[in-house]
Chain A
Amino acid sequence: MTLITYLGFILILVGLWGMLTNKNIIKIIIGFSIVDTGVHLVMVSIGYLKDRTAPILDSAVLKADAVNQVVDPIPSALVLTAIVIGLAVTALMLSYAIKLYEKNKTLDISTFKELKW
């Protein structure tokens, strides 16, 4: 439905704004996770067709008539893998944050000046 697509876009914008304004590394990672959730909502909502049901064939949805009764299964498959990859990347970013904290004893990102020119 279009309402959920708009909600996904608003979540992406909120997450982007949070990533740009915060100085704490953990807050930036939280913002990234919110952007991820918004993108997945947009992708699954594109595959939705009005008044249809889930793509599982059983006694309620017969095999012969399935083309007219079932929601698109491809975006669900893509979003499934994307959610698991999002978790793995978040864990990797957090391990970076731990190592950066060990070096400088603070979580403020403006104290890391080695790459600035």
Chain B
Amino acid sequence: MVKKILLVVLMAFFMLMLLPFAKDFQAFEKLSPTAEKYVQDGPKELGGANLVSSVIVTYRGLDTLGEVAVLFIAAAGVGFFLRREGKNEKAARRQASQILFSGTAFLFPLILVFGVYIFLHGHLTPGGGFQGGVVIATAFVLLLLTDVSASINNSVLHLVESLSGASYVAIGILGLVLAAGFLDNRFLELGEFGSLISAGAIPLIYSFIGLKVGAELVGIVDNMREVRS
């Protein structure tokens, strides 16, 4: 009984804490000064048409580097807890149905190409590295669900992930040496606004981010799948 009263009091307290935010909230009329500077100078300086991508990759590039580091630590934690030693002997499991087999054989290359398209065009249309990486991870998870005897080659996965992460930092340092600052994208040609090869190094950086995020998510799902013992 005391617990229920305490719970109600606690919920009322939380509601009272959030109430000033909700009451005094007015919608803004025009952009804040920082956003105005990003929207005005972004296409001229960086050459990208997608303003959110140019904010993520160059203007706020250090935050993206921190996010990639947090993702790596979480994937390492999952791998540390759920890793099993021992040989991979095949236990008796149900075969997947015929619909899943034929559907996966048809869909897997399509989904892969779609994911690569999303992160290659990240600077022109909505999309970018994160979305493309997640779509590629979904394609591999579909493969894992269908073929019960498939296993992901762990060394290739680790190689792709480590190389992508290292190349991302290496491009940042190249920007420091050849252009104005860390993760500056102007050391490659800016090109013509709106075409595929444009916006300097933004497509390159985004491709590496997409590969790294995709490889990490595949590693997390592979660790959580049931392990044959």
Contact = CB atoms under 8 A, between A and B. Distances in A.
Direct contact of A and B (CB under 8 A): yes
B22 A6 contact: yes
Nearest to A70: B39
B162 interface: no
Nearest to A88: B74
A30 interface: no
A63 B43 contact: yes
Main secondary structure of the interface of B (DSSP, over half): helix
A13 B42 CA distance: 38
B18 A13 contact: yes
Interface in A51-79: 54-58, 63, 66-68, 70, 72-74, 76-78
Contacts of B217: 87
B215 to A, nearest CB: 13
Contacts of A85: 67, 70-71, 74
Interface size class of A (residues with CB under 8 A): 35 or more
B21 A9 contact: yes
Q: Which bucket holds chain B's interface residue count? A: 35 or more
Given A1-B27, A49-B28, A80-B52, A16 B70 contact: no
Contacts of B64: 81
A62 B67 CA distance: 32
A84 interface: yes
Given A72-B31, A77-B55, A56 B15 contact: no
A57 B43 contact: yes
Contact of B81 (A49, A68, A77, A95): A95
Interface string A1-33: 110011001001100110011000000000000
B32 interface: yes
Interface in B15-52: 15, 18, 21-22, 25, 27-32, 34-36, 38-40, 43, 49-52
A76 B131 CA distance: 13
Contacts of B30: 49, 68
Given A1-B27, A80-B52, A55 B14 contact: no
Majority SS at the chain A contact face = helix
B224 interface: yes
B56 A95 contact: no
Contact of A17 (B11, B28, B38, B75): B11
A92 to B, nearest CB: 5
25 contacts: A1-B27, A5-B22, A16-B14, A20-B7, A46-B25, A49-B31, A56-B51, A56-B126, A57-B43, A57-B50, A63-B43, A68-B30, A70-B31, A72-B28, A72-B35, A73-B35, A73-B38, A74-B60, A76-B52, A77-B55, A78-B63, A81-B63, A84-B134, A85-B67, A95-B223
Interface of A: 1-2, 5-6, 9, 12-13, 16-17, 20-21, 46, 48-50, 54-58, 63, 66-68, 70, 72-74, 76-78, 80-81, 84-85, 87-89, 91-92, 94-96, 98-99
Q: Which 6 A-B pairs have the closest CB atoms?
A: A88-B74, A55-B51, A81-B67, A95-B81, A77-B55, A73-B51
